[in-house]
Amino acid sequence: MAANPIAELPELLAVASEILDDASGRFVEGLGAPSAVTKGRNDFATELDLELERTVSEGLALRTGIEVHGEEFGGPQLTSGTAWVLDPIDGTFNYSSGHPLSGMLLALVRDGEPVLGLTWLPILGQRYAAMRGGPVLLNGEPLAPLPPGKLADAMIGFGAFNVDSDGRIPGRFRFDLLGPLSRLSSRVRMHGSTGIDLAFTAAGVLGGAIVFGHHPWDNAAGVALVRAAGGVVTDLAGEPWTITSGSVLAAAPGVHEELLEMICTVADPSTAEEG
């Protein structure tokens, strides 16, 4: 741990950006890395996941005095105190297949709230960063806040699914969302990377993103970005997003309301009958 831990967000953001920049070359070199560690059904890590998490975590702890909770090696609890949250390779299936839509995600969380968000997409040459309150920076340049929008005009990022899968949010429910969503927006996109879906939402490339995953290392950085951009972030039930939420619904103002109404209708078919 550093002798003089950094407390100010601008300095923390600058240091974190430097550390991710230093790791970016290795990230690009490793594109196409094969599976090395099986973590469960349809989930794995590459050797580069492990290498990058060690390298970035060590740099952050040394230079900021703040512990890191990483996807591969875990770390401190996140509901209280201050910690970095790191996903060294988001979109691992994409990355291992040589697909360019993958990146590094890093957030600083204080008492369960992300106050810094960084999404580095080295293969695309894009670096998204923000402090609480904004603005969102793309390659160091501030982006305009998100204007209100309409779902009919928006592209929507949609989480991957297997229609036969069980779990917290079953594949059948995810499948049942696609039909109504396609009627309201014919521009549904499935990128295979939560970080990209949320960063593109913060930048206004996407009008919104529906995220079925609950892992904080997947979601915290992007939530920070969307909030800093002036977007709306809840879970799929419309409750305010927290570090323990089981899903993410992030969108521009206006678009979020329409998405939430659609999701609630699918979750409760009687709503459609009453309307």
- What is the Cα–Cα distance from 213 to 242, expressed in whole angstroms? 13
Label residue 124 by pLDDT band (50, 70, 90): very high
Percentage of the chain lying above the pLDDT 70 cut? 90
Phi and psi based region of residue 132 (left: phi greater than 0; alpha: psi -120 to 50; beta: remaining) = beta
What is the tens place of the pLDDT at every residue in 188-217? 999 999 999 999 999 999 999 999 999 999
Average pLDDT over the chain, rounded to an integer: 90
Is-contact 35 96, C-beta < 8 A? Answer: yes
Q: What does the block give as tokens for 246?
A: 């089981």
Q: Is the CB of residue 230 less than 8 Å from the CB of residue 253?
A: yes
91 with 199: CB under 8 angstroms? Answer: no
pLDDT digits (tens, 9 = 90+) for 19-37: 999 999 999 998 987 654 5
* 214: CB partners within 8 A, 6+ apart: 168, 245, 246, 247
235 marked among binding-site residues? no
87 assigned binding-site residue: yes
135 preceded by a cis bond (ω within 30 of 0):
yes
In this structure, of 1-10, 239-248, 254-263, the range with the lowest mean pLDDT score is 1-10
Q: What are phi and psi of 137, to 5 degrees?
A: -105, 130
Q: How confident is the model at residue 48 (pLDDT cuts 50, 70, 90)?
A: confident
Please determine, for residue 41, whether its predicted confidence score (pLDDT) is greater than 90.
Answer: no
pTM of the model: 0.91
Could you give all domains of the chain from N- to C-terminal order, each with its CATH number?
9-142 (3.30.540.10), 151-271 (3.40.190.80)
The answer to whether 90 is annotated as binding is yes
Q: Is 197 annotated as a binding residue?
A: no
Question: Backbone phi, then psi, for 46, in 5-degree steps?
Answer: -95, 165
Annotated ligand binding at 153? The verdict is no
